[in-house]
Amino acid sequence: MRVKNITTPFFLLAFLSISVGLMSQVKPLTDSDKQKVAAFKFTNESQTRGMQQYNNNCKSCHGDPGKKNYSNLDPIPGDPASAEYQALTDGEMFFYITNGKGQLMPMFANAISESQRWDIVAYIRSFNPNYIQAEVQLASDVNLSGALRLKLDVFKEEKRVVALLTDSTDGVQKPIKSATIKLSVKRQFGNLNIGESQTNELGIAIFDFPVDIPGNEEGLLELIAFAGNESKEISVSQLAPLGLTVVPTKLLEQRSWFNINKKAPLWLIISYLSALAAVGGILLYVLLQLKKIKEMNKE
Amino acid sequence: MEHSDFSSKIPTKIGEKLFSTVNLNIKFHIWMGFLSVLLLACFYAYYIQLRDGLGVTGIRDFVSWGIYLSNFVFFVATSLVGMLVSSVVGLSGKKWVIPITRIAEIIAVAFAAVAGLVIVSDMGRPDRLAYVFLYGRFASPIFWDVTVVTLYFGISFLLLYVTLIPDLALGAKFLKWRPKWLLWAYNLLSLGWKGTEREFAILKKSIRILLILIIPMALAIHTVTSWLFAFNPRAGWDSTIFGPYFVSGAFVSGLSCLMIAMYFFRKNYKLEEYLTDKLFDNVGKLLVLVSLVYIYFNINELIVPGYKLKTHEAIHLRELFIGHHSVLFWSVQIFGLIIPTILLLFKPVRKPFPMLLLGVMVLVGSWFKRFILVVPVQEHPYLPIQHVPEIFKVYTPTLIEIMVTIGPMVMVLMIITVLTKLFPVIPVWEMAEHGEVKENE
Question: Is B438 within the bounds of a domain?
Answer: no
- Phi/psi of residue A151, nearest 5 degrees: -130, 140
Q: Do A290 and B205 touch (CB under 8 A)?
A: no
Task: Count residue pairs from A and B with Cβ separation < 8 A.
Answer: 62
What's the gap in Å between the CA of B243 and the closest CA on chain A? 18
Both A156 and A220 in one domain: the answer is yes
Which positions in chain A touch B212 (Cβ < 8 Å)? none
Query: Is A257's CB within 8 Å of B139's CB?
Result: yes
> A153-157, A270-274, A293-297, B434-438 — which is least confidently predicted?
B434-438
Residue A79: CATH number of its domain: 1.10.760.10
Q: In this structure, are A121 and A159 located in the same domain?
A: no
Q: Is the separation of the CB atoms in B254 and B77 below 8 Å? A: yes
Domain of residue A184, CATH code: 2.60.40.1120
Asked whether residue B125 carries a pLDDT value surpassing 80, the answer given is yes
* Domain end residue (candidates: A125, A150, A174): A125
pLDDT band, very low/low/confident/very high, at B1 (cuts 50, 70, 90): very low
CB of B151 less than 8 A from some CB of A: yes
Contact A286 B139 (CB under 8 A): no
Predicted structure pTM score: 0.73
pLDDT of residue B210: 95
Average model confidence (pLDDT) across chain B:
91
CB contact under 8 A, B192 and A290: no
If asked whether residues A24 and A120 sit together in one domain, one would say yes
Do A26 and A109 fall within a single domain? yes
Report the percent of chain B where pLDDT is more than 90: 72
Q: How much is the pLDDT for A26?
A: 58
pLDDT at residue B436, rounded to an integer: 54
Contact of A198 with A205, CB cutoff 8 Å? yes
Q: Which domain holds residue A101?
A: 18-125
* A73 and A115 assigned to the same domain: yes
What is the mean predicted confidence (pLDDT) over A122-136? 90
Q: Is residue A156 part of a domain?
A: yes
Average pLDDT over residues B281-309: 95
State how far residue A188 is from chain B, nearest Cα, in angstroms. 23
Domain-located, residue B60 = yes
Q: What is the pLDDT of residue A22?
A: 42
Whether A258 and B162 lie within 8 Å, measured CB to CB: no
Mutation target vs B (from A258, A260, A269, A279; most B CBs, 10 A cutoff):
A279
Q: Do A232 and A148 touch, CB atoms closer than 8 A?
A: yes
CA dist., res. A159 & res. A182, Å (int): 17
pLDDT tens track for A218-246: 999 999 999 887 667 888 999 999 999 99
Q: Clarify whether residues A84 and A167 are in a common domain.
A: no
pLDDT tens column, A89-105: 999 999 999 999 988 99
Considering only A239-243, B57-61, B166-170, B175-179, which range has the smallest mean pLDDT?
A: B175-179
Q: How confident is the model at residue B9 (pLDDT cuts 50, 70, 90)?
A: confident
Instruction: Give a yes or no: residue B1 inside a domain.
Output: no
Domain assignment of residue A216, yes or no: yes
Mean pLDDT on B183-211: 92
**B87 domain-assigned:** yes
Q: What is the pLDDT of residue B337?
A: 96
Tens of pLDDT, residue by residue over B16-63, are 888 988 888 899 999 999 999 999 999 999 999 999 999 999 999 899
Q: Would A7 be classed as within a structural domain?
A: no
Q: Is B387 an 8 Å CB contact of chain A? A: no
Search chain B and give the residue with CA nearest A286: B206
Considering the domain architecture, whether residues A153 and A58 belong to the same structural domain is answered as no
Residues 6+ apart with CB under 8 A from B217: A279, B83, B148, B151, B152, B155
Residues of A in contact with B148 (CB under 8 A): none
Residues A50 and A103 in one domain: yes
In a domain, B441, yes or no: no
Nearest CA-CA distance, residue A256 and chain B, Å: 9
CATH number where B331 lies = 1.20.1630.10
Q: Which of A268, A293, A298 has the highest number of chain B CBs within 10 A, making it the mutation to test binding with B?
A: A293
End-of-domain residue from the set A80, A102, A125: A125
Is residue B386, in this structure, part of any structural domain at all?
Answer: yes
pLDDT at A20 > cutoff 70 = no
Compare all CA atoms of chain B with the CA of A269 and give the residue at the minimum distance.
B138
Split into its structural domains, chain B has a count of 1
Question: Distance between CA atoms of A204 and B144, rounded to whole angstroms?
Answer: 65
Q: Do B202 and A289 touch (CB under 8 A)?
A: yes
On chain B, the residues whose CB falls within 8 A of the CB of A259 are 139
Residues 6+ apart with CB under 8 A from B223: B243, B244, B246, B247
Scanning every residue of chain A, which has its alpha carbon at the shortest distance from the alpha carbon of B159? A286
B119: pLDDT strictly greater than 70: yes
pLDDT above 60 (res A12) = no
CB contact under 8 A, A293 and B203: yes
B187 touches chain A (CB under 8 A): no
Where does a domain end: A200, A215, A240? Answer: A240
Subunit contact B139:A285, Cβ cutoff 8 A: no
* Residue B440 in domain: no
Nearest CA in chain A to B152: A279
State whether B139 and A293 contact (CB < 8 Å).
Answer: no
Determine the distance in angstroms separating the CA of A294 from the nearest CA of chain B, rounded to an integer.
5
Question: Is B322 at the interface with chain A, CB within 8 A?
Answer: no
Same domain, A66 and A104: yes
Residue B435 has pLDDT above 70, yes or no: no
Using the predicted structure, report yes or no on whether residue A24 has a pLDDT greater than 50.
no
What strands, in cross-sheet order, belong to the sheet with A180-187? A190-198, A180-187, A221-228, A233-240
In this predicted structure, which of A72-81, A236-245, B46-55, B176-185 has the lowest mean pLDDT? B176-185
**Residues A178 and A145 placed together within one structural domain of the fold:** yes
The whole domain housing B363 covers 6-433
pLDDT band at B213 (very low <50, low <70, confident <90, very high): very high
- Taking alpha carbons only, the member of A179, A192, A170 closest to residue A150 is A179
- pLDDT at residue B363 in the model: 97
For B235-274, what is each residue's pLDDT tens digit?
Answer: 999 999 999 999 999 999 999 999 999 999 999 989 998 9
Does B203 contact chain A (CB < 8 Å)? yes
Q: Closest approach of chain A CAs to the CA of B139, in angstroms? A: 6
Residue A146 and residue A67 in one domain: no
Number of H helices, E strands in chain A: 8, 8
- From B318's Cα to the closest Cα of chain A, the distance in A is 33
* pLDDT more than 70, % of chain B: 98
pLDDT in tens, B312-341: 999 999 999 999 999 999 999 999 999 999
pLDDT of A9 over the 70 cut: no
Which one of B162, B165, B191 would you mutate to disrupt binding with A, by most A Cβ within 10 Å of its Cβ?
B191
Cβ distance of A293 and B162 shorter than 8 Å: no
Task: Please determine, for residue A139, whether its predicted confidence score (pLDDT) is greater than 70.
Answer: no
Amino acid A129: pLDDT:
92
**Count of structural domains within chain A:** 2
Considering chain A, what is the average pLDDT of its residues?
85
pLDDT of the residue at A232: 78
- The answer to whether residue B295 scores a pLDDT higher than 70 is yes
Residue A138: predicted pLDDT = 63
Reported for B387-392, long-range contacts at CB under 8 A and 24+ positions apart, including other chains, are B388/B60, B388/B61, B388/B62, B391/B58, B391/B60, B392/B60, B392/B61, B392/B62
Asked whether residue A211 is assigned to any structural domain, the reply reads yes
pLDDT at B203 over 80: yes
